[in-house]
Chain A
C-alpha cells in the first residue's frame, strides 16, 4: 500500500526529520521514495522582471545538493530513491510527478493553523488533497518541534503507534480502513474507533462500532471506541489530543465534482486544526 511515496519538498527545516519518519514504512512495503523539488518559476517572475539574470544552474545545483543528503539517508536505510527537480507551478508539477511515477502516497507538510491562519485558507497541502488521486499523509511540523531532542527512531515508531480512526461508514472512510492493517505492520498497536453523532437518531451505530472493534482486534490491535455528540471535526481533534494519538486516518468524504471544491469539510478542518499528522484517503 505504501510501495512508492512521492515526497515534494521545499527543503524546510523539518523536511529531513519527516523523511526519516517515513523510513519505518519499509516494514509496510515501502520500496521507493520519489523526492521532488519544484522550482516555482512564477515566484521568480518578480526577479526576472527586475532585469536581474536568474541563475537556474545555481538553483538546480543547490536543490540537488540538498536532495543528495536526503537520498543518502534513504539509501542507507535500504530504500530506493529517485530525485526530480522540475520547473513550473507547484501544484500541477506535484500532481504530474505523482501521476508519472504512479505513486501510492503523497507526503505533505503542514503547520497547525491558528486564528490568523483561518483567514488564509487554501495552502498547497489543501490543494494537493483536493486534486490528488492517491492518499495524502499530512505531517505536522510543530509536532516534530515538540519532540526535538528525541531520536528519530523513537519518533518513527511513535508516528504509527496509536491510530485514531473516525468513521461514518462512508465509502471514503471504508477505503481509509483498508490502510489500517498495513499500519499495524509498521508499528501501530492501538486504535481508537470514533464516531460523532450529529443527530439523536443514529440507530444501529453501536452494533456497527462493536463489529468494527472485533475486526480490528482480530488484526492484533488494542481497540477502544468513542461514540460522541457534537461537531465532528472538533471532537476528532479533541480526542486526538486528549488520547495523544500519533496519527489520524480518515476518509476525505466528498464525491464527484463537488469533491474538487469541497474535499470533505470534516477532513479539511481536521487537517487544518489538528495537532496530529493525518492520513487522508480519497
Chain B
C-alpha cells in the first residue's frame, strides 16, 4: 500500500508543478510579450530554461520549508504527503472552474498544515507559519516599493542613450523572473518528496520539480501568453522593467529566506509601484480586497480540504 501512496504523492505533486509552470507564464513573461518583444514559442522556451535553472540551483530553501519546516520531518509520512499534494492538485484543478484568487504557495503550505492537523502533528505556528504570514503580507508592499524605485532608476536621463538596448533588458528581466519562479514555487510541488525522504537530495527534488514546471510552460503557456498579448495595457519599457524586476527581486528574496510567496501578488505590487511613478493609480480597492481575501481564503481552503481528506481516508484505508 505504501507504494500506492508514494505514486499518489508523486503524481499529485507533479501535476501541481505542471499547473504552476503553465499558469505563471503570463506573470513572468507577460510584459515582454505584451510589448511584442518576443514570440510566444521563444518566450515559453526561455521560461522553461530559466525555471529549470532556478529550480535546480536555488529552490532548496523552499524545499526545506515545505518538506520539513511546517511540521517536523518525523511526522511527514508518505500517506500524509500524498494527502497534502492531492489537496494542492485537487484545489488547483477545481479552481479552473471556481476561479478564486488562490495563491499556489499559500495552498501548498496550508495543505501541509491541514494534513498535519488531521494526523495531530505539531505545526510550527510561531516560527515558520508566522514568518510566512509576514512574507505574504510584505510581498505586495515590497513589490510596490521596488517597482517605484526601479522605474525611477530606469527613468534616469543618463540611461536614455541606451533606449534601444532596454528592450533586451526587459527580456533579461523576464528571464530572471522565470528563474525566481523556479526558486520560489518548485518547493511547493516537490518539498514533500524531500520531507518524506522519498528523494534525499534537495537539488534533485528541485530539478524534478523544474522539469515538470518547464513542461507546463511549454505545453500550456503559449495560449495564455497569446491571450495576455491581446488583452493587457502595453506598459512603457521603463515601467515594464521596473515592475517585472520588482516582482523577481521580491520573490527571490522570499525564496532565499525559504519562504515561498505569491509571484502574482509581487507583480501586482510591482505594477502598482511603477504606476505610481507615472502618477497612475494602477491598483484599486477591488484588487486590494482580493489580495486580502486570498490571504485568508487559500489557507482556509487548503487546510480544510487536506484535513477532511486525511480524516476520511486514513480510517478507510486503515492508516494509523
Which stretch (A38-46, A112-120, A175-183, A204-212) binds chain B? A38-46
How many chain B residues touch A (Cβ–Cβ < 8 Å)? Answer: 30
Which stretch (A48-56, A127-135, A159-167) binds chain B? A48-56
CB within 8 A of B271: which of A45, A46, A52, A59? A52
CB within 8 A of A58: which of B233, B265, B275? B233
Q: Are A52 and B31 neighbours in the complex by a CB distance under 8 Å?
A: yes
13 A–B pairs (Cβ distance < 8 Å), ordered by A? A43-B227, A45-B99, A46-B23, A46-B224, A47-B30, A49-B264, A50-B228, A51-B247, A51-B264, A52-B267, A55-B231, A55-B232, A59-B230
Main secondary structure of the interface of A (DSSP, over half): helix
- Bound-complex Cα distance A62 to B230 (A): 9
A58 proximity list for chain B (CB < 8 A): 231, 233
Q: Are A55 and B233 neighbours in the complex by a CB distance under 8 Å?
A: yes
CB within 8 A of B27: which of A45, A50, A55, A59? A50
- Bound-complex Cα distance A50 to B265 (A): 8
A/B pair count, beta carbons within 8 Å: 63
Closest chain B CB from A122 CB (angstroms) = 12
Q: Are B267 and A54 neighbours in the complex by a CB distance under 8 Å?
A: no
Closest chain A CB from B275 CB (angstroms) = 8
A62 proximity list for chain B (CB < 8 A): 230
Complex A-B, nearest 6 residue pairs according to Cβ-Cβ distance, in ascending order: A51-B267, A51-B268, A50-B27, A55-B233, A53-B233, A50-B26
Q: Are B224 and A53 neighbours in the complex by a CB distance under 8 Å?
A: no
- Bound-complex Cα distance A78 to B218 (A): 49
B271 proximity list for chain A (CB < 8 A): 51-53
Is there a chain A Cβ closer than 8 Å to B207's Cβ?
A: no
B243 proximity list for chain A (CB < 8 A): 51
Closest chain B CB from A54 CB (angstroms) = 6
B230 proximity list for chain A (CB < 8 A): 59, 62
Select from chain B the residue with minimum beta-carbon distance to A49.
B264
Closest chain B CB from A209 CB (angstroms) = 46
Select from chain B the residue with minimum beta-carbon distance to A53.
B233
A45 proximity list for chain B (CB < 8 A): 99
Closest chain B CB from A69 CB (angstroms) = 18
- Bound-complex Cα distance A40 to B151 (A): 32
A43 proximity list for chain B (CB < 8 A): 227
Q: Are A47 and B267 neighbours in the complex by a CB distance under 8 Å?
A: no
Q: Are B26 and A59 neighbours in the complex by a CB distance under 8 Å?
A: no
How many chain A residues touch B (Cβ–Cβ < 8 Å)? Answer: 16
B268 proximity list for chain A (CB < 8 A): 51
- Of residues 230 through 276 on chain B, the ones whose CB sits less than 8 Å from some CB of chain A are 230-235, 243, 247, 264-271, 275
B34 proximity list for chain A (CB < 8 A): 52
Q: Are A52 and B30 neighbours in the complex by a CB distance under 8 Å?
A: yes
- Bound-complex Cα distance A49 to B30 (A): 12
- Bound-complex Cα distance A46 to B31 (A): 15
- Bound-complex Cα distance A42 to B100 (A): 10
Is there a chain A Cβ closer than 8 Å to B154's Cβ?
A: no
Identify 6 new A-B residue pairs, CB closer than 8 A, beyond the known A47-B228, A50-B27, A58-B231: A46-B227, A50-B24, A50-B26, A50-B264, A52-B267, A53-B275
Q: Are B282 and A50 neighbours in the complex by a CB distance under 8 Å?
A: no
- Bound-complex Cα distance A55 to B269 (A): 18
| Proximity bits, B199-239, A CB within 8 Å = 1, else 0 | 00000000000000000000000001001101111110000
- Bound-complex Cα distance A54 to B27 (A): 13
- Bound-complex Cα distance A82 to B39 (A): 37
Select from chain A the residue with minimum beta-carbon distance to B282.
A53
Of B34, B231, B235, B266, most buried by chain A (CB within 10 Å of CB) is: B231
- Bound-complex Cα distance A58 to B230 (A): 8
Of B26, B34, B265, B275, most buried by chain A (CB within 10 Å of CB) is: B26
- Bound-complex Cα distance A76 to B224 (A): 38
B24 proximity list for chain A (CB < 8 A): 50
- Of residues 180 through 224 on chain A, the ones whose CB sits less than 8 Å from some CB of chain B are none
Select from chain A the residue with minimum beta-carbon distance to B102.
A49
Q: Are A52 and B265 neighbours in the complex by a CB distance under 8 Å?
A: no
Closest chain A CB from B104 CB (angstroms) = 11
Closest chain B CB from A91 CB (angstroms) = 14
- Of residues 4 through 49 on chain A, the ones whose CB sits less than 8 Å from some CB of chain B are 42-47, 49
- Bound-complex Cα distance A44 to B233 (A): 13
Select from chain A the residue with minimum beta-carbon distance to B225.
A47
Is there a chain A Cβ closer than 8 Å to B101's Cβ?
A: yes
Q: Are B26 and A46 neighbours in the complex by a CB distance under 8 Å?
A: yes
A42 proximity list for chain B (CB < 8 A): 99
Closest chain B CB from A88 CB (angstroms) = 13
- Bound-complex Cα distance A47 to B221 (A): 12
A46 proximity list for chain B (CB < 8 A): 23, 26, 224, 227
Q: Are B264 and A54 neighbours in the complex by a CB distance under 8 Å?
A: no
Select from chain B the residue with minimum beta-carbon distance to A48.
B287
